[in-house]
Structure 1
């Protein structure tokens, strides 16, 4: 398994391209901007994109969706069933703060806690981690977890947006993410990667609340 990160959008979101270098299938996580860069990199790698995944439906994680989807028409959009409302609620998606037009999303596949995304040689488990948003999800497999805006290096995502809850977010981190093996590498929605072991020992925000 290979992981590439492209920093996208005005808030420097980590958009991940995750793929099997032998089978050349993969997924794109959180295409929040810079569609041309994402598309060009995927094409240069010769990948067949099976899924686009939203860890949550905030504008900075979804703005490039339509252009990326148009480039890879056969891929499925994956999101939590609890995040569907945000697709049509500009307050929950924070699109109300963005001048760039964003067309409605009509076709998607919803996933629940412990559902899986399967590839030829890869498999990832969906983990529901409410808190940053009601329907935030993480993806776990192959010794890594893509944590969206739930868990950062030394910090956590905000819980004061519509549908958010700091209490739920801390519960998600302590009772779901911190139950993963200590050597699990965390690939967050912003900033640098970390590990579960490091965050359990050093994440003061989780400890304070």
Structure 2
């Protein structure tokens, strides 16, 4: 006849199995919590994308033509240089973007933004060439003449630049769009920016 194990021996084996299972569950839970905390810290310190800052550093008139007819008619070509500071631990490689120039709610010029790259915690320059025609001002042309005579022209500039944020040395890449909206006071006759206030933000 087969030997029959005492009941207490079978109970001990069952308890041991349960203890091993509990320890495995606790170990898995501890590892999961540790991994979660690590990912949270990583997100808050490295992966959280901060908004860049932009500043119009240079504005040059590289072309100016007066119209032959009566009244205020002109064609101005301007070269704008924008300094962009990237405060993130991630680089930003951007594709072709667009920029718009507004005068008192009227769109007066559009420019393209060439592709480029801004290093992590670094700076980069964007150069924009804008052509401003007097005909773009429409009914606001008389007001423009008054502002120019007063020596200060208020302008609003906006830019939209899509690209990719390279995290962890470029291993992880996220799609992002950088936006910039600036209110600028352009001085006449020095043809330079007197003051500017910009709001920048990034959307993932």
TM-score range, shorter chain: under 0.3
Could you say which structure has the larger radius of gyration?
2
Larger strand percent:
2
| TM-score between both structures, scaled by the size of structure 2 | 0.23
Q: Which has the higher contact order (CA 8 A, sep 6+)?
A: 2
| TM-score between both structures, scaled by the size of structure 1 | 0.22
